[in-house]
Chain A
Amino acid sequence: MLTYLLKRLTSLVISLLVASLVIFLVVEVAPGDPASFMLGLNAQPDTVAALRAELGLDVPKFARYFAWLSGMISGDFGMSYTYRTPVAQMIADRFWVSMPLALMALALSTLIAFPAGLFAAARRGSAGDMGVMGATQLGVAIPNFWFAMMLVLVFAINLRWFSAGGFPGWDDPLLALKALTLPAIALALPQAAILTRVMRSALLDILGEDFMRTARAKGLSARQAIWRHGLRNALIPVLTIIGLQFSFLLAGAIIIEQVFFLPGLGRLVFQAITQRDLIVVESVVMLLVFAVIVVNFAVDLAYAAVDPRLRART
């Protein structure tokens, strides 16, 4: 296990380094100098030069990359070109909107998908199964931001159960959770549909296995057999998909935030793009990619912990 862990850890570090280099290089080739953009068309050359020096833009690219990288490792993401505040602080404030939203959606999609997948698999071919599968077909076809708008139309504008947007902050956790409820439902729907399908097909695969027949032969009912032996084995592919979904949820959260005017990472990065605040764009993108790579790494480890054959193979 230790060799496996070391191997995976090395590849994790290499992936993160390469990703950071790609992001830095891509943003660096962007046309337009942030300093000239901030000062406008009529700025004097020496003023621009002074601002460039202040922002650290006059240092060679290579040195800037290492400064950015080492800064990020120690939690210093640099200063925002536009707001002159630490980027780390700006990201931290927004993070507490986007991350809870993604986690709520993840929890919700799991809560919907597990029973729905179980139900469909246990009644394969029945009207109930067809109904669930039809619903998932629809679920994956609905764009989450459109579903979000429909939720606003029904539950905020017509029924007035929720507010149509905005975020009151975490001072009152109940109000905050209420503000994130509609966005989380909108975000969870397509993921729940995908997860239900994976759960159903994983269970159906398991149901054909010899050990399930043995379980039935020793007197367990179909329900008991699924519950005691089927579910645990079906969880392996399901967990992998949940890990993969996390990146879609984070990206999806950025879009959903726009529908509900939530002050999350999405709003931050879109504002930064229009203001050419490239250091903010760079840092938010790196954070998102970091999250995806680390979650996939964790899923790999969980997979190896559950299935010893994987450790032996690599």
Chain B
Amino acid sequence: MTLWYSRNLLLGGTLSLFFAALALISFVWTPFDVESLNIAAKLKPPGASYWLGTDHFGRDVFSMIMVGARTSIAVALVAVGIGMGVGVPLGLTAAARKGGWLDEVIMRGNDLIFAFPSLVIAILITAIAGPGAINAIIAIGIFNIPVFARLTRGAALSLWEREFILAARVCGKSRTRISVEHILPNVTNLLIVQGTIQFSLGILAEAGLSYVGLGAQPPTPSWGRMLAEAQTMVSFAPHLALVPGLAIVLTVLGLNLMGDGLRDALDPRIRVART
């Protein structure tokens, strides 16, 4: 059954790489400048000169999709970084101090953050600092923290019961050192898989926040805002709504398939169970 998970990995990886490549290429080249307006060429349907058509200001949709990919990927990636950077150490600490007051404080703190959906965090941040891509990153990043903390703690707890950890303790290693040297390498696979899932959720969340005006602000193109602008024109220029939507769907689908493929490839138990 190796074929099954490698097929997921291949398809997901290809889709993800395609959008990552679009984002990277946009730094050096786009078919048209995304900030220059060309009213004479407004609302053109997809065709030879404008591959995916133009919007109401005559801007090239394909170029905007390329730059929008940059925004989406950057926001989601940094948000995963925040979630992992804060959540993993918290989870490791909680597991190392299982049952102690520190464990209790960390886990209750996690529960509290869990009660704030990322949209609600974004609303709060926007109320203080105004809208922007940075706020979206912080909101999604904060939302990711308890996800990684819980996952790390859960996986670490079962590792703490294992004999090789006992051996490390007998050697006189401190809890912190054991966490870093022995526990962390053993939860890395899990973190990679969860990382791709949170990455895809981050892309969806960024699109949602930009759509309601809490994310990236003009003139930075973002897929969510392209959709918000397309909404009033959906009846006579449906390509404006179709293209960014499909970009989001394909990116998220690619990341999810890649996550599934990675999970199957990295977890030998699933491989054994399947064969």
Cα A74 to Cα B26 in complex, Å, equals 55
Residues of A within 8 A of B234 (CB): 149, 152-153, 157
Q: Would you call A273 and B115 a contact (CB within 8 A)?
A: no
Known A-B contacts A27-B127, A278-B127; the reply to A138 vs B231 at CB < 8 A is: no
Known A-B contacts A143-B204, A273-B127; the reply to A289 vs B245 at CB < 8 A is: no
Of A47-55, A95-103, A245-253, the one with at least 4 CB within 8 A of chain B:
A245-253
A177 on the interface (CB 8 Å rule)? no
Contacting residues of chain B (244-261) with chain A, CB-CB under 8 angstroms: 244-245, 248-250, 252-253, 256-257
B124 on the interface (CB 8 Å rule)? yes
Contacting residues of chain A (234-259) with chain B, CB-CB under 8 angstroms: 247-248, 250-251, 254-255, 258-259
Cα A149 to Cα B116 in complex, Å, equals 26
CB within 8 A of B123: which of A146, A150, A281? A281
A19 on the interface (CB 8 Å rule)? yes
CB within 8 A of B117: which of A18, A141, A142, A250? A250
Cα A61 to Cα B2 in complex, Å, equals 62
CB within 8 A of B211: which of A22, A142, A145? A145
Q: Would you call A153 and B235 a contact (CB within 8 A)?
A: yes
B58 on the interface (CB 8 Å rule)? no
Task: Tell me the minimal C-beta distance from B142 to chain A in angstroms.
Answer: 11
Cα A259 to Cα B200 in complex, Å, equals 22
CB within 8 A of B253: which of A141, A150, A248? A141
Residues of A within 8 A of B126 (CB): 273
Residues of A within 8 A of B119 (CB): 251, 254-255
Q: Would you call A285 and B115 a contact (CB within 8 A)?
A: no
Q: Which residue among B120, B207, B252, B256 has the maximum number of chain A CB atoms within 10 Å of its CB?
A: B120
Q: Would you call B127 and A142 a contact (CB within 8 A)?
A: no
CB within 8 A of A146: which of B124, B212, B241, B250? B241
Residues of B within 8 A of A289 (CB): 115-116, 120
Q: Closest residue of chain A to B122, judged by CB? A: A251
> B interface, by DSSP: helix, strand, loop or mixed?
helix
Task: Tell me the minimal C-beta distance from B197 to chain A in angstroms.
Answer: 10
Known A-B contacts A143-B208, A255-B212, A288-B117; the reply to A19 vs B112 at CB < 8 A is: yes
Q: Would you call B115 and A292 a contact (CB within 8 A)?
A: yes
Residues of B within 8 A of A270 (CB): 212-213
Q: Closest residue of chain A to B228, judged by CB? A: A258
Known A-B contacts A137-B253, A137-B257, A273-B127; the reply to A149 vs B245 at CB < 8 A is: yes
B227 on the interface (CB 8 Å rule)? yes
Type the 1/0 row for A148-180, where 1 means its CB is closer than 8 Å to any CB of B. Answer: 011011000100000000000000000000000
Q: Would you call A145 and B120 a contact (CB within 8 A)?
A: no
Cα A59 to Cα B128 in complex, Å, equals 20
Task: Tell me the minimal C-beta distance from B125 to chain A in angstroms.
Answer: 8
Task: Tell me the minimal C-beta distance from B147 to chain A in angstroms.
Answer: 12
Q: Would you call B256 and A140 a contact (CB within 8 A)?
A: yes
A30 on the interface (CB 8 Å rule)? yes
Residues of A within 8 A of B245 (CB): 142-143, 146, 149-150
A108 on the interface (CB 8 Å rule)? no
Q: Would you call B253 and A138 a contact (CB within 8 A)?
A: yes
Q: Would you call A255 and B120 a contact (CB within 8 A)?
A: no
Residues of B within 8 A of A146 (CB): 207, 227, 241, 244-245, 248-249
Cα A239 to Cα B207 in complex, Å, equals 29
Q: A143-B208, A255-B212 are in contact. List 18 more A-B contacts (CB 8 A).
A: A22-B112, A141-B250, A141-B256, A142-B249, A143-B245, A143-B248, A145-B208, A145-B227, A146-B249, A152-B234, A157-B234, A251-B117, A251-B119, A255-B211, A273-B127, A281-B123, A281-B127, A292-B115
Contacting residues of chain B (78-132) with chain A, CB-CB under 8 angstroms: 108, 111-112, 114-120, 123-124, 126-128
Task: Tell me the minimal C-beta distance from B158 to chain A in angstroms.
Answer: 17
Q: Would you call A141 and B252 a contact (CB within 8 A)?
A: yes
Cα A140 to Cα B114 in complex, Å, equals 20
Q: Closest residue of chain A to B253, judged by CB? A: A141
Known A-B contacts A258-B212, A259-B231, A270-B213; the reply to A27 vs B123 at CB < 8 A is: no
Type the 1/0 row for A196-228, where 1 means its CB is closer than 8 Å to any CB of B. Answer: 000000000000000000000000000000000
Q: Closest residue of chain B to A274, judged by CB? A: B213
Known A-B contacts A137-B253, A259-B231, A281-B123; the reply to A30 vs B128 at CB < 8 A is: yes
Cα A231 to Cα B257 in complex, Å, equals 28
Q: Would you call B120 and A251 a contact (CB within 8 A)?
A: yes
* A–B pairs, 7, beta carbons within 8 Å: A140-B252, A142-B245, A143-B208, A157-B234, A281-B124, A292-B115, A292-B117
Type the 1/0 row for B3-19, where 1 means its CB is closer than 8 Å to any CB of A. Answer: 00000000000000000
B31 on the interface (CB 8 Å rule)? no
Residues of B within 8 A of A79 (CB): none
Residues of A within 8 A of B124 (CB): 23, 26-27, 281, 285
Contacting residues of chain B (199-215) with chain A, CB-CB under 8 angstroms: 200, 204, 207-208, 211-213
Task: Tell me the minimal C-beta distance from A274 to chain B in angstroms.
Answer: 9
Residues of A within 8 A of B115 (CB): 15, 19, 247, 289, 292-293, 296
Residues of B within 8 A of A26 (CB): 124, 127-128
A127 on the interface (CB 8 Å rule)? no
Q: Would you call A15 and B249 a contact (CB within 8 A)?
A: no
A40 on the interface (CB 8 Å rule)? no
Residues of A within 8 A of B208 (CB): 143, 145, 255
